[in-house]
Amino acid sequence: MSVLLKVGFLLEYRQQNKFIAMPGVCTCITARSPPKKDTGSQGQGQGQGQGHTTGRNMTVKIGINGFGRIGRLVLRAALLDHKDIVVVAVNDPFIELEYMKYMLQYDSTHGRFKGNIEIQGKKLVVDGKPIEVFNEKDPSAIPWGSAGAEYVVEATGVFTTIDKASAHLKGGAKKVIISAPSADAPMYVMGVNHKEYTKDKVVVSNASCTTNCLAPLAKVINDKFGIEEGLMTTVHAATATQKTVDGPSSKDWRGGRGAYQNIIPSSTGAAKAVGKVIPELNGKLTGMAFRVPVCDVSVVDLTVKLKTGTTYDAIKEAMKAAANGEMKGVLGYTEDEVVSTDFLGDKHSSIFDAKAGIQISDKFVKLVSWYDNEYGYSSRVVELILHMAHVDHK
């Protein structure tokens, strides 16, 4: 089947007064492009996992609205890692075209964009491919239809419900993918429940970066040994919602403390969200976060009580088998002596660290898995769209 799809990516909205740079957070990291290799892993696999491809003869055209961290990296992932994707549109109400070019070209964490970026009229031209640029604040006013965009990524963090995200349909979008958790939109995690997607779904969520790390890990363990209950902690890189120095944050007093000066306890719904993508685990997991002063790459600590007793070696074998099998490209596996920066630019949702886990009894175990909370997650956004396109055009 030869199908030409036109997809619109909404880059993140950043409210103009909420875009916060993070000087000093990542001074030890040298700029570089996302690596094409799997760093320190065994059985990690490249690209999409089994069952995640759209087929060699399908081309998907995509666009983008808002130009925040996830939006820009969704664009990079589409341009650099997927030859079956062509970007067609970008919308950001707060960034002028010249600055948009600059923000795409230079990235303090992931390095300089290796392609050629030009401005022609009101368009960005990346490696000879034109990208229409819009500056609409109202999502219903973005002319996705005229740009030829069918699938829109709602990466703003603002329009995260079905009702709000559906505004994009008025501009000609056919489907909307929210790059954040949603209170009412169905959530899909690649490698976990993506096969449950059906073409009648119009607005969907790709969940959060932490849920994308935790869910594959929890699925493998639950399928093989059963999870009675568990607690998750994510040691999470700083994000743009935090403050560079102490400042007002009336709803989250700790969250208002300086991001690169502190380890900050925080709430997260990532563990509970796993119950939405793996119904058997609903109510069995909860968790919290520690925000730490690094610019990218986070790590999940999942401590669980198992239903069936086992050994840590058996757990390692189960994780390795999944990383080489049905979750290849989504779940990674490593036995190397790794640290967080080793995973900058890693495209996997979750990389199981076999040497970091510990076990106190045959039914009580702590598991550790890494994730590039920016690039890994952005890669899944792209792959979810590709999967949806494949299902929609069968």
What is the structure's pLDDT at 67?
84
* 13-17, 35-39, 160-164, 315-319: least confidently modelled range: 13-17
**Mean pLDDT of all residues belonging to the chain:** 87
Mean pLDDT, range 1-27, rounded to an integer: 37
* 84-98, 196-210, 343-357: least confidently modelled range: 84-98
Q: Which H/E stretch holds residue 314?
A: helix 312-324
Mean pLDDT, range 283-311, rounded to an integer: 98
At residue 11, does pLDDT exceed 70?
no
Instruction: Determine whether 26 is an active site residue.
Output: no
CA end-to-end distance (rounded Å), the chain: 8
Closest CA to 85 of 341, 387, 393: 387
Q: What's the CA gap between 30 and 312, in Å, rounded?
A: 36
Domains detected in the chain? 3-207+376-392 (3.40.50.720), 210-373 (3.30.360.10)
Q: Show binding-site residues for D-glyceraldehyde 3-phosphate.
A: 208-210, 239, 268-269, 291
At residue 194, does pLDDT exceed 70?
yes
Who has greater pLDDT, 1 or 282?
282
Q: What's the CA gap between 340 and 336, in Å, rounded?
A: 12
What is the structure's pLDDT at 149?
87
Under DSSP, the state recorded for 194 is G
SS3 content of the chain, % helix, strand, coil (to 5): 30, 25, 45
* Neighbouring-strand partners of residue 5: 60
Percentage of the chain modeled with pLDDT above 90: 76
What is the structure's pLDDT at 57?
64
Q: What's the CA gap between 126 and 130, in Å, rounded?
A: 6
What is the structure's pLDDT at 37?
42
Residues 214-272: pLDDT tens digits? 999 999 999 999 999 999 999 999 999 999 999 999 999 999 999 999 999 999 999 99
At residue 17, does pLDDT exceed 50?
no
Q: Show binding-site residues for NAD(+).
A: 69-70, 92, 179, 373
At residue 45, does pLDDT exceed 70?
no
- Please give the structure tokens belonging to residue 244: 């560079």
Q: What does the buried/exposed string (b/e) look like for 113-152 if buried means 16 or more CB atoms within 10 Å of the residue's CB?
A: beeeeeeeeebbebeeebbbbbbeeebeebebbebbbbbb
Residues 134-167: pLDDT tens digits? 999 999 999 998 998 888 989 888 999 999 999 9
Which pLDDT band, with edges at 50, 70 and 90, does 9 fall under? very low
Please answer whether residues 159 and 152 qualify as being in contact, where contact means their C-beta atoms are separated by less than 8 angstroms.
no
At residue 14, does pLDDT exceed 50?
no
Q: What's the CA gap between 309 and 277, in Å, rounded?
A: 25
At residue 32, does pLDDT exceed 60?
no
What is the Cβ-side half-sphere exposure of residue 207, based on CA atoms within 13 angstroms? 33
> What is the amino acid identity at position 21?
A
Which pLDDT band, with edges at 50, 70 and 90, does 31 fall under? very low
Q: Show binding-site residues.
A: 69-70, 92, 179, 208-210, 239, 268-269, 291, 373
At residue 206, does pLDDT exceed 50?
yes
Which pLDDT band, with edges at 50, 70 and 90, does 25 fall under? very low
What is the structure's pLDDT at 27?
29
pTM of the model: 0.86
| Catalytic residue chosen out of the listed positions 26, 28, 209, 213 | 209
